């Protein structure tokens, strides 16, 4: 019988991990704060200054390097690229132990490790795997995902950024938008149109592009929440070596699906962090109690639905992760995880709006009221990221439930 996570924590691996953590980090001190104590920050999107982002990245990089060099950076990864080729239960065991220590926030690496690295491992050349995977997991480089375009958001196959072959290189020209973390990234995964005459799903190719290369212009986009963690990225005759191609020429749709399924799994499972550090069901219950709505049957029903759906979603995620752990590729059911997350966020926003009323939009300085405005303003972005709710419902209906394909729009 395979060891359980608890067995691994108590075994040699767990003892080694605990020794590393005790030597390099301080124990996490949980401070129980009541209503009105501490920060009331509940934003979904990170709202940091550029200086704060750089300081957070520097701290995260130092921790990632220290952790990787000790053998705990890529626990499940192939040994030839710096991993330890251990099970996901070993990773969960380490995560359980690290949660007890005060370590830096690692959100800057979420997209690269949650989406780009798995795609490189599945589709890249040996040269690219050797060059980037170890560096990504060690924290030496940051990666972003370059999919969405002004005229092709959820319809990814409609993208127009083009790549034209020139000997052993490709020349990339076009624009991407809503690229999280592009301003901090060293490399990016990009999907380009390489055959304009082929059906739109058939003429795409994926590449790994140097975000510091000549011709790459990154411009921040200001969100309605006030931050600018998204960017638009312009490519003007950017040269990319053919060795940095992902998969076969014109087979980029398969590459994109690999990334998207990992993205939805990461977002739905919570491994891609949002800006919220205080969002939980107990926090919502405290909100309801403080404002005297705990006896309201409709409000109680809303809280119950949030709790129940959160638990069901967590079990669905565990089943999906078990499939990945068994060596199977992420499938369309990963869309359920991401869709469940945004649907529950919508339930939270409806509850908060119901309880707070005008206090949600009037900054009176009262703790735990106006702060929720940033949560509500960030929700539309979460409903778009990783595929809109509408697109995900079509995927679940057609590819999971086997329902008839949605009729094409009339032309």
**pLDDT tens digits, 95-104:** 999 999 999 9
pLDDT tier, 331 (very low <50, low <70, confident <90, very high otherwise): low
* Three-class DSSP labels, the chain: CCCCHHHHHHCHHHHHHHHHHHHHCEECCCCCCCCCCCCCCCCCCCCCCHHHHHHHHHHHHHHHHHHHHCCCCCCCCCHHHCCCCCCHHHHHHHHHHHCCEECCCCHHHHHHHHHHHHHHHHHCCHHHHHHHHHHHHHCCCCEEEECCECCECCCHHHCCCEEEEECCEEEEEEEECCCCCHHHCCEEEEEEECCCCCCCCCCEEEEEEECCCCCEEEEEECCCCCCCCEEEEEEEEEEEEHHHEECCCCCHHHHHHHHHHHHHHHHHHCCCCCCCCCCCHHHHHHHHHHCCCCCCHHHHHHHHHHHHHHHHHHHHHHHHHHHHHCCCCCCCCHHHHHHHHHHHHHHHHHHHHHHHHHHHCCCCCCCCCCCHHHHHHHHHHHHHCCCCHHHHHHHHHHHHCCCCCCCCCCC
Cα pseudo-dihedral 236, 239, 244, 250, rounded to 10: 60
Q: What is the pLDDT averaged over residues 228-234?
A: 90
The phi and psi torsions of 57 (rounded to 5 degrees) equal -65, -40
Residues forming CATH 1.20.140.10 domain(s) in the chain? 274-400
Cα pseudo-dihedral 196, 198, 200, 205, rounded to 10: -70
**Contact residues for 45 (Cβ-Cβ < 8 A; gap 6+):** 223, 225, 227, 229, 274, 275, 374, 378, 381
pLDDT tier, 264 (very low <50, low <70, confident <90, very high otherwise): low
Q: In the block, which residue shows the tokens 């589709």?
A: 123
- Does residue 320 or residue 254 have the better pLDDT? 254
Looking at the whole model, is its pTM more than 0.75? Answer: yes
What mean pLDDT, rounded, does the chain reach?
89
**Angle in degrees, 0-180, between the axes of helices 281-290 and 297-325, rounded to the nearest 10:** 170
Q: What is the pLDDT averaged over residues 47-53?
A: 87
CA dist 195 and 224 (Å) reads 37
Catalytic one among 263, 305, 333, 398?
263
pLDDT tier, 94 (very low <50, low <70, confident <90, very high otherwise): very high
The phi and psi torsions of 211 (rounded to 5 degrees) equal -75, -10
- Does residue 282 or residue 62 have the better pLDDT? 62
- At residue 90, the pLDDT reads 95
pLDDT tier, 330 (very low <50, low <70, confident <90, very high otherwise): low
Q: Which of 47-51, 98-102, 146-150, 174-178 has the lowest mean pLDDT?
A: 47-51
Annotation marks residue 263 as catalytic: yes
- At residue 390, the pLDDT reads 86
pLDDT tier, 207 (very low <50, low <70, confident <90, very high otherwise): very high
What does the pLDDT look like over 30-49, one tens digit per residue?
Answer: 777 778 888 888 888 777 88
- At residue 401, the pLDDT reads 86
pLDDT tier, 266 (very low <50, low <70, confident <90, very high otherwise): low
- Does residue 311 or residue 173 have the better pLDDT? 173
Residues forming CATH 2.40.110.10 domain(s) in the chain? 143-251
Residue 26: pLDDT over 90: yes
Residue 197: pLDDT over 80: yes
Residue 284: pLDDT over 60: yes
Residue 277: pLDDT over 60: no
CA dist 313 and 334 (Å) reads 11
CATH code at 143-251? 2.40.110.10
Residue 271: pLDDT over 70: no
Residue 348: pLDDT over 50: yes
pLDDT tier, 317 (very low <50, low <70, confident <90, very high otherwise): confident
Residue 293, both tokens? 């709505």
Residue 411: pLDDT over 60: no
- Does residue 130 or residue 382 have the better pLDDT? 130
- At residue 279, the pLDDT reads 58
- Does residue 328 or residue 389 have the better pLDDT? 389
CATH code at 274-400? 1.20.140.10
């Amino acid at each position: 019988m395979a060891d359980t996570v608890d067995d691994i924590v108590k075994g040699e691996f767990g003892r080694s991990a605990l020794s590393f953590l005790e030597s390099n980090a301080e124990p996490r001190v949980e401070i129980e704060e009541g209503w009105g104590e501490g920060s009331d920050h509940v934003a979904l999107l990170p709202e940091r200054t550029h200086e704060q982002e750089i300081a957070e990245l520097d701290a995260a990089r130092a921790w990632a390097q220290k952790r990787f060099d000790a053998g705990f950076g890529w626990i499940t990864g192939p040994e030839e690229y710096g991993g330890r080729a251990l099970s996901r239960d070993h990773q969960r065991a380490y995560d359980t132990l690290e949660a007890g220590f005060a370590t830096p926030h690692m959100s800057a690496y979420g997209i690269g490790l949650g989406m780009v690295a798995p795609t490189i491992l599945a589709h890249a050349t040996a040269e690219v795997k050797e060059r980037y995977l170890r560096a990504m997991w060690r924290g030496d480089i940051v990666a972003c995902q370059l999919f969405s375009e002004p005229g092709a958001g959820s319809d990814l196959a409609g993208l127009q950024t083009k790549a034209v072959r020139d000997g052993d290189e490709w020349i990339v020209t076009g624009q991407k938008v809503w690229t999280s973390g592009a301003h901090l990234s060293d490399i990016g995964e990009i999907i380009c149109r390489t055959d304009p005459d082929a059906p739109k799903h058939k003429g795409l190719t994926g590449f790994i592009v140097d975000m510091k290369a000549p011709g790459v212009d990154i411009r921040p986009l200001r969100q309605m929440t006030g931050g600018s963690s998204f960017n638009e990225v312009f490519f003007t005759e950017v040269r990319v070596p053919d060795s940095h191609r992902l998969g076969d020429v014109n087979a980029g749709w398969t590459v994109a699906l690999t990334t998207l399924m990992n993205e939805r799994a990461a977002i739905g499972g919570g491994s891609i962090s949002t800006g919220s550090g205080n969002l939980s069901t107990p926090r919502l219950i405290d909100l309801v109690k403080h404002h005297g709505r705990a006896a309201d049957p409709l409000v109680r029903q809303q809280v119950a639905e949030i709790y129940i759906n959160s638990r069901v979603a967590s079990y669905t995620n565990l089943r999906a992760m078990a499939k990945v752990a068994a060596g199977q590729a992420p499938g369309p059911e990963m869309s359920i995880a991401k869709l469940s997350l945004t649907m529950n966020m919508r339930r939270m926003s409806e509850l908060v709006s119901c309880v707070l009323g005008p206090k949600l939009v009037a900054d009176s300085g009262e703790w735990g009221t106006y702060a929720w405005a940033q949560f509500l303003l960030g929700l539309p972005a979460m409903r778009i990221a990783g595929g809109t709710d509408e697109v995900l419902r079509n995927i679940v209906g057609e590819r999971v439930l086997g329902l008839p394909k949605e009729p094409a729009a009339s032309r």
